Structure 1
């Protein structure tokens, strides 16, 4: 295209399809991991950013030759980068034991940037950026899980017969399993759903750090063997 302010319909179509493909690849990875923002969200963000970038560059071309008019192709792009933060913030959640969604929020922000790059015709940078993002979300996530982040926060809720289930028993068990206890909430002698009306139960809520390779089902089975335990839940 010799005229920097003009774009053909074919190029418009190619850029929108390219943004759909690249945004979809990143969104597909997020969808596979069951994150809040998945395939469709990432495609919409990327395609929308591409459209806004093309509008910013080419949408006002008829005013180029008007006197006292100066066009800034980046003016709408800056609004996209700022505005995408609100969408990303919606994917960040505080679950009580950890903050989740930061990576998905960052992926939305990067997808918006990829869409802007495609809209401006910066294809190579957009393609390389997509590969880097996929490498980070997929390959480096495996490396992180296996070799870097060896432990994970969990919340264990244990319910048992009052007087029989004691904090000392649970503490000794956790020490033997090399599970670090960060916080304990102790509820003494209250009615339990699984118990008869004449029996009282004790409930323990523990925020712990468990090794990543630990089998949760095996842990539940071992806790159930403790005298007095009637119910176990791990989150």
Structure 2
């Protein structure tokens, strides 16, 4: 097997396992059994075989970076590759070692082969959606949440004088906060008055992760 053939085999494995999904690799962490299998496999490899694997992983790593626009942009700026890329490369190294090691049992081989193909990819869209909208006071939903907090504190103070009224005020404040939080979390389109006014020829602005 040539270096390029092993590289292409690893690429094909990623394509088969993950299709066109691009984003952050979520590879299962190495447990004790996998660690033992890894050490056993590497101990059986000759110096030439280890060098062969290392040479095949260089273009494979570059290919993984090129698949992810955010990773490619980060590396192009001089920053190191994202950690998930390095983890995927280590999983590919385990896969290659399992293929070349001459004396692994079936269970050990499967543990090493499974690392790269049995993970998942969190897409760029999924990754960005988890970040949520920024907490900015210019966002009216953030101001609503702050107002809800203020009313809750007011209710706590009133409760010292009149328990029934304090309870009602606290409940109202909590309801306002929850409503504002849900709107903020959803990134709902809002008119950011007065900084952007639809009545003055401005544009309605989306304050979520896809904001322009």
Task: Classify the TM-score, shorter chain.
Answer: 0.3 to 0.5
Question: What TM-score results when the alignment is normalised by the length of structure 1?
Answer: 0.34
Structure with greater contact order relative to length (CA < 8 Å, sep ≥ 6): 2
**More helix as a share of residues:** 2
Q: TM-score, normalised by structure 2?
A: 0.37
